[in-house]
Amino acid sequence: MARVTRSPAPSSPAPLPPVAVERAIRTCPNCGRELAERRCRLFCETPGCGYYLSCADYY
């Protein structure tokens, strides 16, 4: 009889620390610049980019 060997189950990646998550949320996905905060909105200050998040998007 042939012997079947199983490889161990892949481990799940470690969760990101809160600081890394906050940095990712505050980074523009279009150009990579840090998003600025004004009232209840995060927005990209790069001329011509125009990316923003409202409170409803990230809370």
Q: Is 5 inside a domain boundary?
A: no
Measured on CA atoms in the order 15, 19, 22, 26, is the torsion positive or negative?
negative
Using the predicted structure, report yes or no on whether residue 20 has a pLDDT greater than 90. no
- Residue 35: per-residue pLDDT: 93
CA distance 28 to 51: 7
- Greater pLDDT, 14 or 28: 28
CA distance 30 to 55: 19
How many domains would you assign to the chain? 1
Q: Is 6 inside a domain boundary?
A: no
User: What token pair was written down for 15?
Assistant: 């969760």
CA distance 35 to 27: 6
Q: Is 10 inside a domain boundary?
A: no
Q: Is 34 inside a domain boundary?
A: yes
Q: Is 4 inside a domain boundary?
A: no
pLDDT digit string (tens) for 31-55?
Answer: 999 999 988 899 999 999 999 988 8
What mean pLDDT value characterizes the chain?
A: 81
Residue 53 lies in domain = 19-58
Q: Is 32 inside a domain boundary?
A: yes
